[in-house]
Amino acid sequence: MADVEFRVENHIVHVRLNRPGGMNAITGDMDEALLDAWNSINADPEIWCAILSAEGEKAFCIGADVSEGPERKSRMALAGGLTGIGGPLVTLTKPLVAAVQGFCVGGGFELAMCADIIVAADTAQFGLPETRHGIIGECGVVHRAVRQLPHHIAMAMILTGERIDAATAAQHGLVNEVVPYAALADAAASWAGRINKAAPLANQAAKAAVYGRLGHPLEMALMTRFEEIERYAESEDCRERDVAAAEGRRPVWTGR
């Protein structure tokens, strides 16, 4: 089977890392497959939400496969560009749910933090082991960690290399839900289903607006006009919203 699986069902795409024997460490070939996946998701109007998961109970992902050596860096940024580590950043325009179990460390932690929603099994362990092993390079993970966790919690993880468990991650707002490992896939699917009850183009416009002005002053964000929002205003779904309201029924979204 492929090291990266790709399956679409009911407007939800399932992207699954399938290299459990290597703790789902990402090879150069997996990078290329993930880049193809993100590009396909962005281009397909029938895909409204993505779920990123991984095979095997032991690990979600431990980052890049370092056994490939330094030549691996010449391929692209980690995880098909989604993390932006070591190459150009690829932006996923659709909502992304990550289902995390076991070890989620280094670049794997970075990959999980690229998601909009994180569901964690109670087995999950999040960590930044780089400095403990004397490694610090194109380490984008520290920049996301200090933005997504309380400052002192993130700095403690960065400077000690110690991991936090799923319950602690939830306490600090890093994950949305913690479930038993056996319930992880169902929980991720539930989140994707809840997301897809909303207008898909409105969700995509909202995501673009959030990330497009993240880190900017509030005044600048409020004054910005977003192309995605303006395009949604001209969409079939926007017209369906108004018709459904007038007819007293729930809208039927098409993503167009």
How many whole angstroms separate alpha carbon 90 and alpha carbon 96? 13
- Is residue 213 within 8 Å of residue 233, measured between CB atoms? no
- Is residue 138 within 8 Å of residue 105, measured between CB atoms? no
* CA separation, residue 204 to residues 121, 173, 190 (Å): 27, 23, 19
Kindly state the tokens that stand for 98: 């990550």
- Is residue 92 within 8 Å of residue 50, measured between CB atoms? yes
Residues identified as active-site: 110, 130
Amino acid, single-letter form, for residue 17: L
* CA separation, residue 142 to residues 55, 103, 135 (Å): 26, 17, 12
What's the maximum distance between 2 C-alpha atoms anywhere in the chain? Answer: 64
Position of tokens 């910005």?
A: 224
Position of tokens 């090291």?
A: 3
Kindly state the tokens that stand for 133: 């092993």
Position of tokens 């509030």?
A: 218
Position of tokens 């999950």?
A: 124
